[in-house]
Amino acid sequence: MTKIVVLAKLVPDLVEELEIAPDGKALDMMWLRLLINEFDNHAIEQAVLLKEAVGGEVTIISPDAEGVDDMLFTTAAKGADKLIKLVGDFEDMPNNHALASAFAKVAKEEQPDLILTGVQANNDLDGAIGPLVAKELDMPYVGYISGVTLEEGGVIARKEYPGGLIGEMEVKLPAVLGIQASEEPPRYVAISKVRQMMKSAAIDEHDVPELADTGGLPVNRMYLPEAAERAEMIEGDEDEIAAKLVELFQEIGVM
Amino acid sequence: MAMPSATQSPLFTKEFYTSLFENIDGENIKTCLQCATCSGVCPFGHVMDFPPGRMIAWMRAGILEEMLESDSVWMCVSCYACTEVCPKEIPVTPSLMTRAKEEVLLAGNVPTELQSALEFSQRYGNPLGESSRKRAAWIEDLDFEVPTARKVRRPVDVLWFVGDYASYHPRVKEVTKAFAKLLKALEIDYIILGGAENSDGDSQRLAGEKGLFEVLAEKNAKAFSRCEFGEIITTDPHAYNALKNEYPQLGIEYPVKHYAEFLVERLEEIKPLLKDNGKVRVTYHDPCYLGRVNDIYDEPRTLLEAIPGLELVEMPHNKTTSLCCGGGGGGMWLDGFRWEKAEARLSEWRMREAASTAVDVLALACPYEPPRFEDAAKAIKGAEDIVVKDIIELLVEVMEE
Amino acid sequence: MTKDIYVLIEHVQGKVADISYIMLAAARELAEGTGGEVVGILLGHEAQGLAETLAADKVLYGDHPALAEFTPDAYQKVLEKLIPEKEPRAVLFGSTTIGADVVGTLSSQLDIPLVDSCVSVSADSNVISQICGGKIMVESALEGTTSFIAMIPGHYKVESGQSDAGPEVTPIELPALDDLRVTLRQYIEPEIGDVDITQEDVLIGVGRGIQTEDNIEWIEELADLLGAEICASRPIVDQGWLPTSRMVGKSGQSVKPKLYLSLGISGAPEHVEGMAGSEMVIAVNMDPDAPIFDVAKYGVEFDLFDLIDPLMDKIEETS
Ligand SMILES: Cc1cc2nc3c(=O)[nH]c(=O)nc-3n(C[C@H](O)[C@H](O)[C@H](O)COP(=O)(O)OP(=O)(O)OC[C@H]3O[C@@H](n4cnc5c(N)ncnc54)[C@H](O)[C@@H]3O)c2cc1C
Ligand code: SF4
Ligand code: SF4
């Protein structure tokens, strides 16, 4: 039976206004609202699709955060078999090096054949989770994956390159894959199903001891980019405008 | 420890069949004549594999699965046209079509546009995916204060339930602001809930997400219970329908009025405020959830006729036969899907009628409509110059100096 | 610790990826501060020629059949040996399908700090990166012996990292590259004609302002010059001028290209929903009050029919 572990985390919801903490070096957690990292959501879908295709067991591991229980129950309603919550000092959102080692320890106990996680998240200051976990577990890692097929002893992972090129990678198991997109878009589950899961499913809690805060570079400051209220208007006759546009195209490297 | 896997939905099972009869008059389904009047009047009947009449026939024959695999139900705009005409008074829309959508949704057959509206409603309390903290941001554009529940901590006469599109959609916010002006001019003692207000959930319910509807209703109930007020008013017929007919079934009961009713009661106060701005030819589009579903046909017309110089003319389809704008029953979130299937937009049919009626203005009374009809006006020959406005805007225009 | 700045050169199917030049430009800026050299790491098979266009002082070249195309395991093995030996001040990777596969594993294994999504660097060794989709900027400082920087495009021009001087190329010794756990079976080329606008870097969005179907061809000429794809507002698709797969907005696709050039689109909320995530929006519209100017970074209040031809001339002239 294929054992698939999905590592999922909640990240800042960008629909909400973001604020910088008073020390100027972090996000202000007070106003932050969290939601599942969209790529992790695709990883969950891919895991469930694999389970539906070939059988197996899907375990979701996620660090504690506001709203994580609901997120986990939703994955159960989608078809996840086992829910694990990492409990510890996650309030200030640890860096990914620390989180990866916590993930790795718990994932290892599950003896997974395949670990899936989102290829990136919007708060990856010190790199994505996947490769960090892979190293901790001494597994291979391939990211930017948009399709996975299980084969004897391994998987074929479709890796995306710019311009729509796909590289078919043969990956020996156990392995960690960074999912960019699941083969089918993440499914919708009716709230009534999620509510059922809240009654019937259980979340295992794993205590995580203190997390080291290393792996990234020391942050001098965080700040909000200057937001332009309205477009800066380009004035002039058609030739002047054309020249200015070409200049802009070059600046952003599209010419 | 392994958990029980997600229960598979009962696909058009007996359970489904029996649940159809739970609705008021639900038993009538058994008396269906197979006259197909419903399918004939249905605006999308021609592109459904299973228009309502055929659905009943197949159900009787015990062939259920195929109906679920078809995406017919997502063409249903919950417009009640079928229900209105059924000679056997079968509640086609609320029982058959809505229950069928619930089944299809449980089975996971949900078009993506609809999926994100449902996910947004769950997460932000509105289907547009906007921050709930910004629900009352429109009040900042006004040069007077709009009282929010958080600031006014005393009993008031009226709670204004603003609604989703009225709170967030840039075009509809203009109507909302106009309504605030009107309430101010009439010196109404009111509050709005601000960020504590959630989507009324009615269109989500009609799109098959009953559980979500209940969650949203509970949140609104909580917000209501924190305030003291005499009655609720709203500019949104969908919210009106939820508050009037659906919330009471969940034990959430408050007197509620659509603005048309509320303003007609104050007509004598309003009339002196209205100036004569010259002649204008206007037709009125009956929103499904004000008209067919809740029988409010006269009040909007009374308001329009109070405007000096306004000539009200009817389109061929009016009152009980009004044509749906296409936004109901989740239609606001199925636009692309339906275009793919039907290559037609109901709002454009309606706009063609408005154009053939040779009017200057198409008057509305539902927040789903201004963007839909303005968009349609651009696409229909002869409709380019038709002004699309809510009745509130028309009133406020002739009030302003 | 040396003062040199290393760059992992990315290439796919015999072509150096643009991000490599962008990184070289950034590396040059850093090296000016540290006083070191810019060193490219080029791994490939019979690919030495790829070094020719690189604006590096030096290129370290590793040649092996297993390195012909990128695979994470093989790259990892080479780099985990090379980097500690050389102790560069910093190594730049692309935050891309290539760089992101190895920079994290290397950071974890070699205990080298890593900063992701870096937009620019400065001579005083400060690094500007972004999180939350660019809504938050982060300034950090290089630390310790070596730092890893994963770059995204946006600040440096591709040309600044190109040169025809031809750097000095030094072969490097490679570890054994057997027992690889990841191998490339094959590349699958995208089907021609089936364009996925959500994946494009440059999009030209056309709206009702273009007036007739024939004008689409004319805009296509502009698109070809820019290496762009055309997408549209809904009315254009409704009329059958472009397929549904090209529709942007609430009922269509959500796109986030580097550049979205909007031509004759008013900017209705239903449209904006699908393109507001673009890195840069430039809008051309005759109406100064068109809401599209609220989303655009740059606006041109102009008749597009008078602008397109001069623009095409200018582009041809420049490139
Ligand atoms: C439920 C719903 C869903 C929708 N979904 C989508 C969707 O997914 N995507 C979408 O795009 N729309 C969608 N719409 C439609 C949307 O509301 C707008 O009607 C549509 O986007 C308008 O398209 P447009 O900007 O091309 O046309 P218009 O609004 O007519 O704008 C044309 C613009 O071109 C400018 N112009 C004209 N001539 C010139 C010229 N010579 N030079 C320069 N500028 C010129 C005009 O000033 C004008 O601003 C939806 C609508 C609804 C109600
Ligand atoms: S409610 Fe309207 S759209 Fe739905 S089946 Fe009845 S007539 Fe058709
Ligand atoms: S209109 Fe009523 S009686 Fe006639 S087919 Fe439809 S449901 Fe049956």
Rounded distance between C-alpha atoms, residue C143 and residue C141, angstroms: 6
Which residue numbers of B have CB closer than 8 Å to C's CBs? 113, 169-171, 335-337, 339-340, 345, 371, 375, 378-379
Which residue numbers of A have CB closer than 8 Å to B's CBs? 15-17, 35, 57, 76-79, 81-83, 185, 187-197, 200-202, 204
- Residues in a beta bridge with C202: C259
Token reading at B329: 């029953």
Name every residue whose Cβ is closer than 8 Å to that of residue C70 and which is 6 or more positions away in sequence. C10, C11, C12, C98, C101, C184
Ligand in closest contact with the CA of B207: 2
Contacts of C304 in chain A (CB under 8 A): none
Does residue C59 contact residue C39 with C-beta atoms inside 8 Å? Answer: yes
Q: What is the homologous superfamily of the domain C197-318 according to CATH?
A: TPP-binding domain (3.40.50.1220)
Choose the mutation target among A51, A192, A196, A203 for the interface with B, i.e. most B CBs under 10 Å: A192
Contacts of B170 in chain C (CB under 8 A): 269, 291
Give the range of the structural domain holding residue B362, as residue numbers without chain letter: 271-397
Using CA atoms, how far residue A14 sits from A10, A18, A221, C124, C134, in Å, is 12, 7, 20, 31, 10
Determine whether the shortest distance from the Cβ of B44 to ligand 2 is under 6 A: yes
Rounded distance between C-alpha atoms, residue A229 and residue B391, angstroms: 32
Does residue C67 contact residue C11 with C-beta atoms inside 8 Å? Answer: no
Domains: count for chain A? 1
Predicted confidence band of residue C88 (pLDDT cuts 50, 70, 90) = very high
Predicted confidence band of residue C191 (pLDDT cuts 50, 70, 90) = confident
Does residue C268 contact residue C304 with C-beta atoms inside 8 Å? Answer: no
| Cα B76 to ligand 2 centroid, rounded to whole Å | 5
Query: DSSP label at C204?
Result: E
Ligand 2, residue B80: give the atom nearest the CA.
1
Are residues B302 and B389 both part of a single domain?
yes
Rounded distance between C-alpha atoms, residue A89 and residue C131, angstroms: 22
Helices and strands (DSSP H and E) totals, chain C: 8, 17
In this predicted structure, what is the pLDDT of residue C125?
A: 85
Ligand in closest contact with the CA of B293: 2
Positive or negative torsion for Cα A151, A152, A155, A156: negative
CATH of range C5-171; options 3.40.190.10, 3.40.50.620, 1.10.3720.10, 3.40.630.30: 3.40.50.620
Are residues B121 and B64 both part of a single domain?
no
Confirm whether A228 is domain-assigned.
Answer: no
Compute the mean pLDDT over every residue in chain C, rounded to the nearest whole number: 93
CB within 8 Å: A76 and B122: no
Determine whether the shortest distance from the Cβ of B80 to ligand 2 is under 6 A: yes
* C141 φ/ψ angles, rounded to the nearest 5 degrees: -120, 140
pLDDT tens-digit series, residues C226-247: 999 999 998 898 788 998 889 9
pLDDT tens-digit series, residues B312-354: 999 999 999 999 999 999 999 998 888 888 888 999 999 999 9
Are residues B222 and B345 both part of a single domain?
no
Residue position matching structure tokens 């009947």:
B45
User: Does A15 lie at the interface with C, CB-CB under 8 angstroms?
Assistant: no
Q: Mean pLDDT lowest for which of A173-182, B53-62, C17-26, C66-75?
A: B53-62
Between C144 and A248, the higher pLDDT residue:
A248
* Residue A226 pLDDT greater than 90, yes or no: no
Contacts of A200 in chain B (CB under 8 A): 3-4
| Cα B26 to ligand 1 centroid, rounded to whole Å | 44
In this predicted structure, what is the pLDDT of residue A198?
A: 95
In this predicted structure, what is the pLDDT of residue B69?
A: 77
| Cα B35 to ligand 3 centroid, rounded to whole Å | 5
User: Does A227 lie at the interface with C, CB-CB under 8 angstroms?
Assistant: no
Query: DSSP label at C48?
Result: G
Closest of C119, C109, C161 to residue C140, by C-alpha? C119
Ligand in closest contact with the CA of B36: 3
Please give the residue of chain A at the shortest CA–CA distance from B110.
A188
Residues touching ligand 1 (Cβ under 6 Å) are B 332, 335, 371-372, 375, 378; C 207-209, 233-235, 247-252, 264-266, 268, 270-271, 274, 284-287, 290, 303-305
Nearest CB to B209; choose among A83, A190, A197: A190
C198, C248, C265, best to mutate for ligand 1 pocket (most atoms within 8 Å of CB): C265
Rounded distance between C-alpha atoms, residue C97 and residue B81, angstroms: 53
Beta-carbon pairs below 8 A across chains B and C: 28
Confirm whether A147 is domain-assigned.
Answer: yes
pLDDT tens-digit series, residues C256-287: 899 999 999 999 888 998 898 898 999 999 99
Confirm whether B1 is domain-assigned.
Answer: no
CB within 8 Å: B379 and C250: no
Between C240 and A57, the higher pLDDT residue:
A57
CA atoms within a 13 Å half-sphere pointing along the CA-CB vector of B366: 24
Rounded distance between C-alpha atoms, residue A49 and residue C38, angstroms: 46
Determine whether the shortest distance from the Cβ of B81 to ligand 2 is under 6 A: yes
Instruction: Find out whether the peptide bond into A174 is cis, omega within 30 degrees of 0.
Output: yes
Please give the residue of chain A at the shortest CA–CA distance from B1.
A82
Closest of A129, A138, A142, A1 to residue A59, by C-alpha? A1
For residue C178, the surrounding DSSP H or E stretch is: none
Using CA atoms, how far residue A189 sits from A193, B103, B115, in Å, is 7, 12, 9
Please give the residue of chain A at the shortest CA–CA distance from B113.
A188
Compute the mean pLDDT over every residue in chain B, rounded to the nearest whole number: 92
Determine whether the shortest distance from the Cβ of B230 to ligand 3 is under 6 A: no
CATH of the domain at A57: 3.40.50.620
Rounded distance between C-alpha atoms, residue A18 and residue B182, angstroms: 35
* Residue C77 pLDDT greater than 80, yes or no: yes
Q: Do domains C5-171 and C197-318 have the same CATH topology?
A: yes
CATH of the domain at B253: 3.40.50.1860
- Amino acid making up residue B2: A
User: Using CA positions, which residue lies closest to atom 7 of ligand 2?
Assistant: B42
* Per-residue buried b or exposed e for A159-171, using 16+ beta carbons within 10 Å of the residue's own CB: bbbeebebbbbbb
Contacts of C265 in chain B (CB under 8 A): none
Residue position matching structure tokens 């992101």:
C100
CB within 8 Å: C238 and B375: no
Confirm whether A244 is domain-assigned.
Answer: no
Choose the mutation target among B123, B126, B219 for the interface with A, i.e. most A CBs under 10 Å: B123
Between B70 and A146, the higher pLDDT residue:
A146
Rounded distance between C-alpha atoms, residue C245 and residue C194, angstroms: 9
Ligand in closest contact with the CA of C235: 1
| Cα B346 to ligand 2 centroid, rounded to whole Å | 12
CB within 8 Å: B1 and A200: no
**Sequence ranges of the domains in chain C:** 5-171, 197-318
Using CA atoms, how far residue C262 sits from A247, B90, B374, C207, C223, in Å, is 17, 50, 21, 8, 12
Predicted confidence band of residue A154 (pLDDT cuts 50, 70, 90) = very high
Tell me the average pLDDT across C6-28.
96
pLDDT digit string (tens) for chain B, length 401 residues: 344 333 334 444 667 777 777 777 778 888 999 999 999 999 999 999 999 999 888 888 877 777 777 888 999 999 999 999 999 999 999 989 999 899 889 888 899 889 999 999 999 999 999 999 999 999 999 999 999 999 998 999 999 999 999 999 999 999 999 999 999 999 999 999 999 999 999 999 999 999 999 999 999 999 999 999 999 999 999 999 999 999 999 999 999 999 999 999 999 999 999 999 899 999 999 999 999 999 999 999 999 999 999 999 999 999 999 999 999 999 999 988 888 888 889 999 999 999 999 999 999 999 999 999 999 998 898 999 999 999 999 999 999 65
Rounded distance between C-alpha atoms, residue C281 and residue C290, angstroms: 14
User: Using CA positions, which residue lies closest to atom 23 of ligand 1?
Assistant: C233
Domains: count for chain B? 3
Nearest CB to A18; choose among C102, C135, C182: C135
Predicted confidence band of residue A169 (pLDDT cuts 50, 70, 90) = very high
In this predicted structure, what is the pLDDT of residue B13?
A: 62
Determine whether the shortest distance from the Cβ of B82 to ligand 2 is under 6 A: yes
* Closest approach of C222 to chain B, Cα-based (Å): 27
Predicted confidence band of residue C8 (pLDDT cuts 50, 70, 90) = very high
Confirm whether A185 is domain-assigned.
Answer: yes
Give the range of the structural domain holding residue A129, as residue numbers without chain letter: 3-207
Helices and strands (DSSP H and E) totals, chain B: 19, 8
In this predicted structure, what is the pLDDT of residue B10?
A: 42
What is the maximum span of chain A, computed from C-alpha positions, in angstroms?
Answer: 69
Please give the residue of chain C at the shortest CA–CA distance from B372.
C270
Contacts of B124 in chain A (CB under 8 A): 15
| Cα A100 to ligand 1 centroid, rounded to whole Å | 46
Ligand 1, residue C287: give the atom nearest the CA.
47
Are residues B122 and B245 both part of a single domain?
yes
pLDDT tens-digit series, residues A122-138: 999 999 999 999 999 99
Does residue B133 contact residue B127 with C-beta atoms inside 8 Å? Answer: no
Does residue C176 contact residue C202 with C-beta atoms inside 8 Å? Answer: no
List, in sequence order, the alpha helices (H) in B271-368. Answer: 298-305, 335-342, 346-356
CB within 8 Å: B378 and C235: yes
Are residues B277 and B378 both part of a single domain?
yes
Does residue C89 contact residue C142 with C-beta atoms inside 8 Å? Answer: yes
List, in sequence order, the alpha helices (H) in B90-236. Answer: 98-106, 112-124, 164-168, 170-185, 202-206, 210-225
Are residues B104 and B143 both part of a single domain?
no
Confirm whether A223 is domain-assigned.
Answer: no
- Amino acid making up residue C222: L
Query: DSSP label at C97?
Result: T
Tell me the average pLDDT across C169-189.
95
Are residues B291 and B386 both part of a single domain?
yes
Rounded distance between C-alpha atoms, residue B158 and residue B178, angstroms: 17
* Closest approach of A131 to chain C, Cα-based (Å): 5
Tell me the ipTM for this assembly. Answer: 0.90
SS (H, E, C) chain A: CCEEEEECCEEECCCCCCCECCCCCCECHHHCCEEECHHHHHHHHHHHHHHHHHCCEEEEEEECCCCHHHHHHHHHHHCCCEEEEEECCCCCCCCHHHHHHHHHHHHHHCCCCEEEEECCCCCCCCCCHHHHHHHHHCCCEEEEEEEEEEECCEEEEEEECHHHCEEEEEEECCEEEEECCCCCCCCCCCHHHHHHHHHHCCEEEEECCCCCCCCCCCEEEEECCCCCCCCEECCCCHHHHHHHHHHHHHHCCCC
Name every residue whose Cβ is closer than 8 Å to that of residue C262 and which is 6 or more positions away in sequence. C204, C205, C207, C275, C281, C282, C283, C284, C285, C292, C296
* Closest approach of C237 to chain B, Cα-based (Å): 10
